Each structure stands twice: as structure tokens, then as C-alpha cells.
Chains A and B, each alone.
Chain A
Amino acid sequence: MLGKLLKYDLKSMLKYWWITAISSLVLSAAGGASLAYIINSEDYPSALIFPMVLLVFLAFLGMFGFIILSTIFIFTRFYKNFFTDEGYLTFTLPVSRFALLNSKLISSVLVTTLTVFVFFVELIVFIIIPVASTNAWHSALPELSSLLSELNLTVGPYIYVFVVEALIAVLLSNVYSTLLFFFCITFAAMISKKAKVIIAIGIYYLANSITSTFSQLLFSTGLENIADRVMLLSDASAFPVVALIVLGILLFMAIVCLALYALEYWMLDRKLNLN
């Protein structure tokens, strides 16, 4: 049943998503070409500079607008499917609330990952076109490869561990932000009948500022202290210890995600009143 739920959730979220993705990709390519024109404008007539600057601005607008629109598509689906009239039908389906929540979470994380991927492709396209038009391209590639080989020499095989840990961290932060959005929408639906969206946004900002203050306190001086201790270790033992520290942080993130998931499930299961 989860497969079917996922199919319809993804279908709904991606209905307009791909149009915005292609539009912003085209805009980023046009913006990159315009930037290349501006950089080499000594060689070209200056009359076209203003439209080119406008195109670069539009490309930026397109790229960031795409991310905002994707977020709206994802959470509109969650809100409409659970908390509007559609919710009556959703909760009468012969599936557990676990499956409903899992489907929403998996599809949201998938679409967010796709969005981030497309955004990076856009960014690369936007940067590569102007760089390719100058000589900087020839010197940038060998520098990049020497930087990577130097990194490989310094860190050794632990580079793979760090890459895997970084990927898990990205995934967990994606899950965390999605669950935080879900929690805010559900909480707003629980306490209000009319201004659910505005209250959800307000709760999100409040929760976000609390968590960012908490993480700043934790990671500014706290990690500095740990770094001081790690510096005292030899090179051979420093990398496994750093990998272990990152693992600890990942597990901490996993606890927060699981706790948020449990809270969200409990609210959907026990506290939801669609009347």
C-alpha cells in the first residue's frame, strides 16, 4: 500500500515541479551566457549590457524561486491531503497512519533531494558558461585536481568515511527540516481552524530560531573545545576520532528526527480532529 501512496504523492508533488525545474534551468543557462557576455563586454557593444544584467538577475530569481516553489508544492500536498476536506478521504483509506506519514515523508525527502540536485546543476551551468569563456578554466582544472590529490594524501582512506558521513548528515538534515514543517502544519491545524497556514509559518520560525540558537551554542565554543583536544592527538589517531565525533553528532541528529517523527505520528493518531 505504501507504494501506491508514494505513487500518488509523488505524482501530485511533481505535477508542476518539472515545469519550474526546466524553466529555472533554461534561465540559469541564459543567465550564465549573459554573465559571460558581461565579463567579456570589452569585446562587445555595451548597448546590450543592461538586458544582460537583467537576465542574470532573472536567472537568480528563477533559481531561488524554484526552491521556494518546490517547498510550496511539497507542503501544500501534505496540508491539503491531511487537513482540508481531502483529509476526510485520506484518513478513511484502508491504510495505517504510519503508512500515510511514511509516504508523505519519503516523497517529500525525495522531491527535496531532486530539487537540491537540480539547483546544483543550475548553479554549475550558471558558473561554467562564464568560466569557460575566459582563460581561468585552463588553470582552474589542474588546481582543482591537485587540491583533491593533496586532500587524499592528507586524509587518506578516511576521506571515504567523511564523504559517507557528510551524505548521511545531508539526508538527516533534510528529514529533520521536512518533519519540522510537518510538525508545524499539524500543530497549527490542531490549535486553529481558520488561520492554519499563518500559524504554521509562525511556529516554524519560532522553532527554527530556537534550534538555531541551540546549535550555535553547541557548535561554536563546544566544538572549538573538542577541536583543541583533537589537536593534541597524533595524525594517525586524529582522523578516527574526528570520524567518531561526526558519528556522535549524526546519532544525535537521528534522535531528534525520531523524536519529531514520534511526536508527529502521535499528533496525527491521537490529537487530530477534522471536524
Chain B
Amino acid sequence: MKKISAILCSLILIAFCFVCPVSAATSFVTFAEDFQTLSFEDNTYIACNLSELIYDESEEISKQYVILSDTQKENVKSVSITANADYSILYANIAYRNGSTLNVDFLRNDCYEKLDSIRQNTTHCEIDFSYSGVDVISFTKSSLSGEYTTVTEDELYWCDFYEVTSSCEYEFDLFYGYMLFCDDSYYFVDAETVLQLCDSSWDFYPADYDSLYACKISDEELIEQLDTAMYDSYSSLTITDMLDEATTKKLSNGFLIVAFGILPLAVMIASFIIAMRAKSAYKKLFSAIGITCAAELTVFVILLLILV
């Protein structure tokens, strides 16, 4: 009896292990037998790449998220799904094992409503500083308020920018916009503005714009949080990272002049002096070094005249 119950328990456990992923997987994309219809689970939001589908036009849902019946699996080699520019249509490309392919378009009209409802229900946003050695900072959505103002070209060129997201109960982060870290102010550019400016949120780069209309953060608590995060982020940087851009530029320009100008000049003079005094092999060798230095210096001077 004990053995039978042990076997039963094991069977239940094994079945549970198999059923769990299967039931989880069924919340993804399911195809009809003839591939002419595509269904999503209605009651819950899809945990896979919903947000990426909305914000990344070239996003491909990998085939593991696509549920195929056994008959389909026998015939189909791979399925890839892409979205159009406004993400209302999904394009499925079905590659069969016999080499033929089938392209099917699916109209998808529920994306925006679902995302909007998620947006409305979340109360907190966050900025992930983890790659610069600082943790994620979290703040209320209402603190992203303030006076709308124009960010100048100079500020946009030198600013740092971080993604503002909100983690919801599902397995993806919603993109809210970008926080611009300028010299003495923080500006928030919302997702709508970002997506009007560029095709995808990943393409946004502040230095590309002459000016930008953005919300200047006035919430004291959020400013304090951002100040601390920036301070911690800077303290984790190396000495060269901490130098401001102008100093780095001057240093590297000086370094270029020393390496490509002064050093070859010194080598050229020394080589010609040695070549004059030396005999046979050394004479040829040092003359060659001197001539190469002279050629390099000529190119360097021409470049200086063109570029400076």
C-alpha cells in the first residue's frame, strides 16, 4: 500500500512538473490548425514580450512562446512573429520542414487598451542605475511633475540619460520615458514624446536634438534621490571617468600632439644625427627611421592644417 501511494505521489509530482510549464505556456500565442487565426489568452495579460512588442518594432517572439499542436509540430520547422510600425498587426512567418513558407497577418486590436490599463493601475516608477554601481531608485509616478520647459542644445549634448520604467505585476517593465541628468536640473521626457521623435525608445539619443520640450523635475524628494544616485554613481567611477569632457578632450589632444608630433620630431632629429655619425648598416637604418619620421610629420602637419 505504501509503495502504491509512493508511486502515486511521485506520478502526481511528475505530472505537476509537466503540467506547470504547459499551463504557463498556454498563456502565449496559439495558432489554429490552419494558421488562419491566432489567439491570446483573454483573462490575463500576456507575460511574454507584450511591452517589447509595443516598443520594439523588430521584436521577434521566439518559437518557444508559440504554441503549436502536435500535427503542426510535425510539419513546421519554425515560426517567427514581427509587428508593424504601429503594432496593430502581427506578421507570422511559418517555415515548413519541406522548405516552403507561409506568411499570415493578424490584426491585433487589444494591445493599447491592455497597456493603458496597466499604466493607469501602477503608482510607482523606477530608474535602474545598477550598471554604474548604484541600485534601482523608486519613486511615485506623481513626482514626475513640474513645469514644462525647453532643454537647450548644449544641455542635451552633455547630459546623461536613464530610462524610467515601472515594474508591474507581470513579467515586463513598462517604459515611461527618459530622465535627463543635466548640470543642475533633471528633466523628464515622457514615452509619447520619445516615440514621436524616434521609431523605437532604444533609438533616443538627446544629443541628436537641437532642443527638447521636457518636464523640469520640481519634486524635492525625487531631486534628493536623484542627487544621491548621481553622487554614488560618480564615486564608483575611475579617475579618467570623473574628469569632465573638456579636460579629457584637452588631455587627449595634448597626448595626440606629443605622440604624433613631438615624439616623431625628436626621433627624427636623433636619427639623422646618429645616421651622420654612424657607418654602413647603422647609417642606412637610422636614415630610414629619420625619413619615415619626416613623412609622418608631413602628414601630421597637413592634418593639423585641415582639421584645426
Contacts and interface: CB of A to CB of B under 8 A. Distances in A.
Interface stretch (A55-63, A114-122, A163-171, A217-225): A217-225
A229 interface: yes
B50 interface: no
Given A229-B307, A245-B303, A258-B285, A135 B295 contact: no
B24 interface: no
Interface of B is mostly: helix
A265 B95 CA distance: 64
B303 A218 contact: no
A170 B71 CA distance: 55
Interface in B157-181: none
Interface stretch (B139-147, B195-203, B220-228, B250-258): B250-258
Contacts of A218: 255-256, 259
Interface residues of B, number: 32
B287 to A, nearest CB: 10
A42 B249 CA distance: 55
A255 B289 CA distance: 6
A268 B59 CA distance: 62
Interface string A135-161: 100000000000000000000000000
Interface residues of A, number: 32
A71 B99 CA distance: 46
Contacts of A266: 282
Given A96-B281, A255-B264, A258-B285, A221 B296 contact: no
A98 interface: yes
A225 B285 contact: no
Interface in B23-44: none
Given A230-B307, A248-B260, A259-B289, A225 B296 contact: no
A262 B292 contact: no
B263 to A, nearest CB: 9
B106 interface: no
A5 interface: no
Contacts of B252: 217, 220-222, 224-225
Q: Which of A221, A241, A261, A265 has the most CB of B within 10 A?
A: A221
B289 A222 contact: no
A220 B97 CA distance: 48
Contact of A217 (B95, B255, B299, B308): B255
B265 to A, nearest CB: 11
A254 interface: yes
Given A98-B281, A135-B95, A252 B296 contact: yes
B295 to A, nearest CB: 5
Interface of B: 77, 95, 97, 99, 248-249, 251-253, 255-256, 259-260, 264, 267, 281-282, 285-286, 288-289, 292-293, 295-296, 299-300, 302-303, 306-308
Given A222-B253, A255-B289, 13 more contacts: A96-B281, A218-B259, A221-B251, A222-B252, A222-B255, A225-B256, A244-B302, A251-B292, A252-B264, A255-B267, A259-B289, A261-B285, A262-B286
